[in-house]
Structure 1
Amino acid sequence: MRPPAQPLLHDSLIGSAQAVPRRDAVVDEYGPRTYEELADESLRFAKLLQDEGLQPGDRVALYLDNTARCAAGIFGTLIAGGVFVGVNPQTKAEKLALILGDSDAAFLLAEGHSLNIAAEAVAQRGSATRMFATETSAAVTAFPTLEQALAATEPQPATAGTLPADLAALVYTSGTTGRPKGVMLSHEALVFVIGSIAEYLRLDADDRILSILPLAYTYGLSQLLLAARLGGTLLLERTFAFPGRTLERIHSERATVFAALPTVYATLLGMQHSRTYDSVSCLTNAAAGLPPSFHDGIKRLFPRARLYRMYGQTECVRVSYLEPELLEAKPTSVGRAIPGTKAVVLDEKGQPVAPGETGVLHVRGPHLMMGYWGDSALTKDWLRKGPGPGERMLCTHDHFTIDDEGLLYFVGRTDDIVKTRGEKVSTVEVENVLHGLDGVSQAAVVGVPDDLLGEALQAYVVLEEGAVLTEEDILRFARSKLENFMMPKEVVLLDELPLTESGKVRKGSLV
């Protein structure tokens, strides 16, 4: 049975600490942290921030690795009445300074090994940001360490008086290109969407969720929030830099849930395996479309797992999911709207499209963002007038179609639609075809300027280890599967595709 909804995001941690205090909440590279221990550290974080002058609504930037300490920082900020701003630990000084300045962060919590970058970013910002750093092997005296500060602080923060409608998180996203924009997510939006995800994934307190995803982004963050809500265990990996180690941990820790991206699945399918991973009962894919050609290989590797094809955006965390039982019949669909929400594909006149027609996906529900931090014009473009009185509806700016049963099919993001030879082509559709060729590990298709065609399609392909394919082999296969106007004009073989910090292919870097 799913636990009752909590009004504030951090209430789930406090509730689980009371219900199952000695159960492991987070297990990272340093060892396990029980719910009792995680709650204690979170309360110390909250008290420390309050003692240092945090006011309700102040932003706290967490420039921390994927560890239990980062989890405590997230919950501690919320308990204190603040707003957490996750920052990918790979972020460089210039971008960190931009985020600190745009969010007007009052505090920055950083890893000791990233202290020089953090200090440079604070200096670039040119205004006061209180900073704490974790311990490091090098001598650090300029800033107090988190360990020392937390040890000297009692786990007794003042009640913050936070309301469910208050801002909880500021998540910076730029997609594949562009200046980062701060997505504002409230307590009530995150509480709702985590409950909805837990329901359709059929998870409970016995689940052990292994996550390689950065806590700075909503896909990774949702793994932590799911575990806390359920009273389950989060098995946290710092990165996916060592796939073999991740697989060994899935086996040794008896993980039941594994969340990943297409690039991760491509890596796993390209490896040699001496066993299957039978403890896993739930697999999820989001952030980018999963090529249907991956399905059979994933099933062989995780024979007992339900595989969920999902679609989401930072602006509402999750939009839709396909029931695993429909995977074979609807291999390219991302299913229906998550429980408690609605998703509709609209044409240029704002009317629902007929099956087979393409339009833009719009989303309704309690999980929508509050807007973009400090950008009312962008907020107005994405949050449109909804059908209900006073309702706002999210325009995803992504192109979709539906079938006769109302199931959703992702066609492409606005910049994934290329007009060539007078026809509109979804680069995602071409990529799915290329993924179907044995020996192809990853493929990305983009539009490039062409004097004759206006735009031509260019494919970038990464081969599986040991595969022997030429550019012409790939084009020959594509000709057997695609209409002439959908054919790539050129294929470029690469050792790897450029990725964003969140693991998506950075198509803007290919052209």
Structure 2
Amino acid sequence: MPQPPDSTPQPLDHLAERAVTAGRGEAPALVLREGTLNHKQLRLRVARLAGWLVRMVPEKGARVASWAAKGELNCLLPLAAARAGLVHVPINPLLKRAQTAHILADSGARLLIGTGSRLASLEPGDLPHGCAALGEAEALAAAEEAGLEMPPSAADPSELTAILYTSGSTGRPKGVMLSHANLWLGAVSVAHYLGMASDDVTLAVLPLSFDYGQNQLLSTWYAGGSAVPLDFLFPKDVAKACAKHGVTTLAAVPPLWVQLTEIDWPAEASAPLRRLTNSGGALTAELVRSLRSMFPDARLFPMYGLTEAFRSTFLDPALVDSHPTSMGKAIPFAEILVINDAGEVAADDEEGELVHCGPLVAQGYWQDPERTAERFRPAPAASTYGGMAVWSGDRVRRDAQGLLYFAGRRDAMIKSAGNRISPQEIEEAALATGLVAEAVALGVPHARLGQAVHLVVRGDEAGREVLAQRLQRDLPNFMQPQMIHWRVMMPTNPNGKIDRSALAAELIKDFAA
């Protein structure tokens, strides 16, 4: 695919100007439950929110966190913080206070804006020193009352503008540092290869704390289209919203696609759809067939990405039927190399590590040089871009046509319902209860979730109910173990360490579904 003509990165907040100057100012930009903002109104709200933020947090580069659902504030804050010279830290609204407190402390946030119930759940000491907390309605009202309209920024596109926290295979969530250029070029790239236009309507069902979710807004606004954020309870709510708003673009992760194929889609919901996009896990051949059958007129875009490089590959919809399990080829602005164990570019059909090079590569992990050095390393000699590259740890192979196929992962990450989950976070929560002496969290293949979380513990089974209750209190819903298995002894390997592989093999044999 040819590169987009617009390859010069801009300050991220300029997305609020783009649609207006292109003559689409009166068209809808953001459709909320309480009303619709056109592109001119969106630009004004971003300018006012940025002006208020500068007064609240005058220190350039300070971190501003949001912990809220998909309302006006969470949608506008990425652009407003960028205009104010601040760094936005979106927190997944599904997280609970312990994970939120870690993110606030790790990022050194100076301001937290969130929904009242979430802020009320915080305990003394959860807010870092010097960090203020404010309700989202209060913040929006204060910005409107202040009326301070900040003009478009002249930021260097290489400056840091966002930190997105993602789970690693070990330890607590780590903050991926993203520049204006990373996010701007990501929006340009996606809008280009999806073929988005000013009359497109995107239903934003994914969390805005994820790069994939946030890009739903950014790529739509780059194209001058309309975004409809939706926090849904049931799959049928998605179909209803598609019908109500004439949705043309729908992005989801495999477990949600499974649920969406199990409900009835009236013609008024399915007919307007022009494109379906998938990331956060691979589509199965069966699911591809179901989606193609249910939405024959919509183009299906399977994609692969990682927060450290935003998005790496997509499969041309014309190849989906013939190559349903392929990851496709590199997206615009991405260079994807497959490097074998000898450190050389792998031959056709030879397995190797996926290495992502180019301007979509993030700036590393926030205040974590050790883990940054593990994942962000100099690009292979064969790279055209050079510089720093993301060594993904994912094993892939490339066929003679240049199409990539996923082979496996090196790390112990659990990927459930589109969420990347750190086993260590679950294990630490279990051990912190004092009810168990050892704990191992594992992912077991599951037809609907991709992987289901299982927790193996050694301790007194009399604490079974209390342990489950404590985990319900301390961990977000997507981290909750589907099953807790009690053991008198844990298997060990020759080095005396818990044999995680043996436990995984046992669980997969007995419980995979």
Q: Same fold (TM over 0.5)?
A: yes
Distance in 2 (CA, whole Å) between partners of 1:324 and 1:252 is 26
Distance in 2 (CA, whole Å) between partners of 1:65 and 1:400 is 36
Provide Cα deviations, 1:70-97, integer angstroms capped at 9, x if missing partner: 1222211111111111111122111111
Counterpart position of 1:309? 302
Counterpart position of 1:266? 258
- Cα distance, 1:56 vs structure 2: 1.6
Distance in 1 (CA, whole Å) between partners of 2:150 and 2:68 is 22
Distance in 2 (CA, whole Å) between partners of 1:153 and 1:2 is 39
Counterpart position of 1:455? 502
Distance in 1 (CA, whole Å) between partners of 2:320 and 2:107 is 41
For 2:12, the aligned partner's letter is L
Distance in 2 (CA, whole Å) between partners of 1:233 and 1:23 is 8
Identity %, equivalent residues? 30
Q: Are residues 2 and 415 of structure 1, via their aligned partners in 2, closer, same or farther at CA, if it must alter by over 3 Å? A: closer
For 1:234, the aligned partner's letter is A
Distance in 1 (CA, whole Å) between partners of 2:102 and 2:388 is 29
Q: Which aligned pairs between 1:164-183 and structure 2 lie closer than 5 A?
A: 164-175=157-168, 178-183=171-176
Counterpart position of 2:228? 235
Q: Are residues 14 and 236 of structure 1, via their aligned partners in 2, closer, same or farther at CA, if it must alter by over 3 Å? A: same
Match of residue 112, structure 2, among 92, 108, 114: 108
Distance in 2 (CA, whole Å) between partners of 1:124 and 1:304 is 49
Distance in 2 (CA, whole Å) between partners of 1:73 and 1:320 is 28
Provide Cα deviations, 1:416-475, integer angstroms capped at 9, x if missing partner: 699xxxxxxxxxxxxxxx98xxxx645538999978996376598xxxxxxxxxxxxxxx
> Are the counterparts in 1 of residues 281 and 450 from structure 2 also a CA contact under 8 Å?
no
Q: Are residues 365 and 390 of structure 1, via their aligned partners in 2, closer, same or farther at CA, if it must alter by over 3 Å? A: closer
Counterpart position of 1:505? none
- Cα distance, 1:21 vs structure 2: 2.0
- Cα distance, 1:312 vs structure 2: 0.2
Q: Are residues 189 and 451 of structure 1, via their aligned partners in 2, closer, same or farther at CA, if it must alter by over 3 Å? A: closer
Q: Which runs of 5+ in 2 are unaligned?
A: 415-444, 457-489, 494-498
Q: Which moved more, 1:36-45 or 1:221-230?
A: 36-45
- Cα distance, 1:99 vs structure 2: 0.8
1:414 aligns with 2:406: no
- Cα distance, 1:213 vs structure 2: 0.5
Counterpart position of 1:421? none
- Cα distance, 1:209 vs structure 2: 0.8
SS of the residue 2:123 aligns to = helix
Match of residue 56, structure 1, among 55, 60, 63: 60
- Cα distance, 1:292 vs structure 2: 1.4
For 2:316, the aligned partner's letter is E
- Cα distance, 1:340 vs structure 2: 2.8
- Cα distance, 1:207 vs structure 2: 1.0
Q: Are residues 336 and 2 of structure 1, via their aligned partners in 2, closer, same or farther at CA, if it must alter by over 3 Å? A: closer
For 2:362, the aligned partner's letter is M
- Cα distance, 1:307 vs structure 2: 0.5
Count how many residue pairs are aligned between Structure 1 and Structure 2. Answer: 435
- Cα distance, 1:491 vs structure 2: 3.2
> Are the counterparts in 2 of residues 266 and 294 from structure 1 also a CA contact under 8 Å?
yes
SS of the residue 1:152 aligns to = helix
* TM-score, normalised relative to structure 2: 0.79
Counterpart position of 1:247? 239
Counterpart position of 1:220? 213
Counterpart position of 1:299? 292
Q: Are residues 445 and 332 of structure 1, via their aligned partners in 2, closer, same or farther at CA, if it must alter by over 3 Å? A: farther
Q: Which moved more, 1:34-43 or 1:308-317?
A: 34-43
Q: Which aligned pairs between 1:30-41 and structure 2 lie closer than 5 A?
A: 30-41=34-45
Distance in 2 (CA, whole Å) between partners of 1:215 and 1:441 is 23
Distance in 2 (CA, whole Å) between partners of 1:289 and 1:148 is 42
RMSD: 2.8
> Are the counterparts in 1 of residues 49 and 144 from structure 2 also a CA contact under 8 Å?
no
SS of the residue 1:192 aligns to = helix
> Are the counterparts in 2 of residues 27 and 68 from structure 1 also a CA contact under 8 Å?
no
Match of residue 391, structure 1, among 375, 387, 401: 387
Counterpart position of 2:451? 444
> Are the counterparts in 2 of residues 59 and 82 from structure 1 also a CA contact under 8 Å?
yes
Counterpart position of 1:98? 102
> Are the counterparts in 2 of residues 209 and 223 from structure 1 also a CA contact under 8 Å?
yes
1:489 aligns with 2:509: yes
Distance in 2 (CA, whole Å) between partners of 1:169 and 1:31 is 27
Q: Are residues 220 and 442 of structure 1, via their aligned partners in 2, closer, same or farther at CA, if it must alter by over 3 Å? A: closer
Distance in 1 (CA, whole Å) between partners of 2:197 and 2:4 is 7
> Are the counterparts in 1 of residues 338 and 353 from structure 2 also a CA contact under 8 Å?
yes
Counterpart position of 1:281? 274
Counterpart position of 1:17? 20
Q: Are residues 377 and 441 of structure 1, via their aligned partners in 2, closer, same or farther at CA, if it must alter by over 3 Å? A: closer
Distance in 2 (CA, whole Å) between partners of 1:68 and 1:459 is 47
SS of the residue 2:511 aligns to = strand
Counterpart position of 2:440? none
Distance in 2 (CA, whole Å) between partners of 1:39 and 1:459 is 56
Q: Which moved more, 1:389-398 or 1:351-360?
A: 389-398
Q: Which aligned pairs between 1:318-329 and structure 2 lie closer than 5 A?
A: 318-329=311-322
For 1:14, the aligned partner's letter is E
Distance in 1 (CA, whole Å) between partners of 2:4 and 2:147 is 33
- Cα distance, 1:15 vs structure 2: 2.2
1:345 aligns with 2:348: no
For 1:40, the aligned partner's letter is L
1:197 aligns with 2:197: no
1:134 aligns with 2:136: yes
Distance in 2 (CA, whole Å) between partners of 1:176 and 1:254 is 40
> Are the counterparts in 1 of residues 16 and 46 from structure 2 also a CA contact under 8 Å?
no
- Cα distance, 1:55 vs structure 2: 1.9
> Are the counterparts in 2 of residues 25 and 228 from structure 1 also a CA contact under 8 Å?
yes
- Cα distance, 1:382 vs structure 2: 1.1
Q: Are residues 417 and 191 of structure 1, via their aligned partners in 2, closer, same or farther at CA, if it must alter by over 3 Å? A: closer
Distance in 1 (CA, whole Å) between partners of 2:219 and 2:250 is 12
- Cα distance, 1:331 vs structure 2: 1.3
* TM-score, normalised relative to structure 1: 0.79
Provide Cα deviations, 1:85-142, integer angstroms capped at 9, x if missing partner: 111112211111111111111111111232202x537x3244011222134xxxxxxx
Distance in 1 (CA, whole Å) between partners of 2:256 and 2:306 is 19
